[in-house]
Amino acid sequence: MRNTLAIAWREVRTYFTSPLAYVVIGVFLLISGYIFWASLVRFSQLCLSYGNNPYYMNLLNVNDMVIRPLFGTMGIFLLLMIPAVSMRVLAEERKSGTAELLFTCPLTTAQVVLGKFLGAAFLLLAMIGGTMTFPAIILSKANPDLKPTLVGYLGILLMGLAFLGIGVLISAMTENQIVAAVGAFGAFLMFMVINWAAEAVSSVTLSGLFNKLSLGLWEKAGLGLGGPSLGDLLNQISITEHSKDFYKGVLDTRHIVYYLSVIFMSLFLTQRVIESQKWR
Point out which residues bind other proteins (CB under 8 A).
2-3, 6-7, 10, 13-14, 17-18, 96-108, 278-280
| Entry field: residues in the chain | 280
CA 211 centroid distance within chain: 34
CB of 236 to other proteins, least distance (A): 38
Nearer to other proteins, 10 or 212 (CB): 10
Contact status, residue 116 vs residue 168, Cβ threshold 8 Å: yes
Q: What is the C-alpha to C-alpha distance for residues 7 and 21, in angstroms, rounded to an integer?
A: 17
CB of 108 to other proteins, least distance (A): 7
Integer CA distances (angstroms), 147 to 63, 101, 135, 251, in order: 10, 46, 12, 9
CB of 115 to other proteins, least distance (A): 9
Degrees to nearest 5, angle at CA 250 with 248 and 255:
110
Nearer to other proteins, 103 or 268 (CB): 103
Q: What is the C-alpha to C-alpha distance for residues 195 and 235, in angstroms, rounded to an integer?
A: 5
CB of 168 to other proteins, least distance (A): 18
Cβ burial 117-144 (10 Å sphere, 16+ → b, else e): bbbbbbbbebbbeebeebbeebeeeeeb
CB of 112 to other proteins, least distance (A): 9
CB of 13 to other proteins, least distance (A): 7
Q: Render 200-258 in DSSP notation, one character per residue.
A: TTTT-BHHHHHHHHTTTHHHHTT--S-S-BHHHHHHHH-HHHHHHHHHHT---HHHHHH
Nearer to other proteins, 94 or 255 (CB): 94
| CB-neighbour burial class of residue 61 (10 A; exposed 0-12, middle 13-18, buried 19+) | middle
CB of 14 to other proteins, least distance (A): 6
Nearer to other proteins, 248 or 272 (CB): 272
Nearer to other proteins, 54 or 97 (CB): 97
Nearer to other proteins, 101 or 257 (CB): 101
CB of 151 to other proteins, least distance (A): 38
Integer CA distances (angstroms), 242 to 18, 21, 155, 158, 246, in order: 34, 28, 9, 10, 8
Nearer to other proteins, 45 or 96 (CB): 96
Nearer to other proteins, 13 or 141 (CB): 13
